[in-house]
Amino acid sequence: MNQTIRKAIFPAAGLGTRFLPATKASPKEMLPLVDKPLIQYAVEEAVASGVESILIITGRDKVSIENHFDISFELETILKEKGKDDVFKQVRAISDMAKISYTRQSQALGLGHAIYQAKDFAGNDPFAALLADDVVDAETPALAQMIEVFERYQAPVIATMQVEGEAISRFGVIDADEVEPGVFKINDMVEKPAFADAPSDLAIIGRYIFTPEIFSAIERTKPGAGGEIQITDAMRLMLKEGRPFYAFRLEGTRHDAGDKLGFLIANIEFALKREDLGEPLREYLRGLQL
Ligand code: UTP
């Protein structure tokens, strides 16, 4: 029987060193994009893509994420008393969104290690992994686009985007054959290649659909760069063992909100699209003497 995706995990236990000092006592995933934390965008994307069950993998500062998705009786009571019905509804909707559970990655030993913490949660089911600091602004939610590919191929799918020129060296890059427009069968992948060595212009971004086989691959993956267990190494192991892996070229714009410049750009782009903020912000930007 063909499977679909109902479970999603959100690794949020990284140290966020590129965003210090903001990430000293609060996870990067709680940084606000206009007025919503990054992780809420990712959770909303998953729910809009049909996900019903969510696991957030937290690090040392898990409290703010848990509180954000929990009911806040005190705040809700005050909002109601003050007649702020619209805000009340927004706040209540956050805790009604999906069934969310949490687990802890006790040490930031890499994304592969973080994903491994979801072994029991996934059980025998395929699942999605979303990195909330990669924000994808798309008409059809990014994960929904990938699930459509998974349903047809019944094999792991990773998200990619086309990157022009030398910037490709900042990403994991796939070596792959296009099997239909926008869908690629992966042969291999390399982390941060030199521009001249990049096998394609398709960069891996933070959306993955895995089958439970990934856990045994992570168990067999030795720590790589920086002593961390890299998810790319686990995926390469599966590829070497002949397991099929697909890549999908996402339709939409991806912002690296884990990087200061990327974060600022994402805020401007998202704010410009807002009915309440777009016009005044545009006016302000026009007036800047640059
Ligand atoms: P990054 O590569 O962005 O690392 O992680 P980071 O530590 O969060 O940030 P920088 O590079 O130091 O600034 C990609 C994703 O993987 C998660 C992060 O929370 C982020 O969503 N991650 C990374 C973990 O959950 N655990 C880890 O050990 C490493």
Report the residue among 10, 19, 23, 28 best suited for mutation to probe ligand 1: largest number of ligand atoms under 8 A from its CB.
Answer: 28
Q: What share of the chain is helix, strand, coil (3-state, %, to 5)?
A: 40, 25, 35
| Mean pLDDT across 129-136 | 97
Which of the four pLDDT bands, split at 50, 70 and 90, describes residue 96?
confident
Tens digit of each residue's pLDDT (9 = 90 or more) over 144-178: 999 999 999 999 999 999 999 999 999 999 999 99
- For the chain, domain boundaries: 7-286
Span 177-186, pLDDT tens digits? 999 999 999 9
Whole-model pTM: value is 0.95
Beta-bridge mates of residue 207 = 130
Ligand 1 pocket, Cβ-based, cut-off 6 angstroms: 11-19, 28, 57, 105, 108-111, 113-114, 131-133, 258
Domain 7-286, CATH class in plain words? alpha beta
Residue having the nearest C-alpha atom to atom 15 of ligand 1: 131
Token pair of 122 as six digits: 């996934």
pLDDT at 239 (0 to 100): 97
Q: Which atom of ligand 1 is nearest to the CA of 15?
A: 7
Query: Are the beta carbons of 94 and 68 closer than 8 angstroms?
Result: yes
Query: Which atom of ligand 1 is least distant from the CA of 57?
Result: 25
Q: Residue 283 Cα, ligand 1 centroid: separation in angstroms?
A: 36
Contact present, 97 and 158 (Cβ < 8 Å): no
Mean pLDDT rounded to a whole number for the chain: 94
Taking the centre of ligand 1 as the mean of its atom positions, its distance from the CA of residue 87, in whole angstroms, is: 31
Calculate how far, in angstroms, residue 112's C-alpha sits from the geometric centre of ligand 1: 10
Å from CA of 58 to ligand 1 middle: 11
Question: pLDDT tens-digit profile of 249-277?
Answer: 998 999 999 999 999 999 999 999 999 99
What is the model's pLDDT at position 60?
A: 82
Residue 287, token pair as written in the block:
């007036």
Residue 12 CA to ligand 1 centre (angstroms)? 7
CA distance 46 to 35: 19
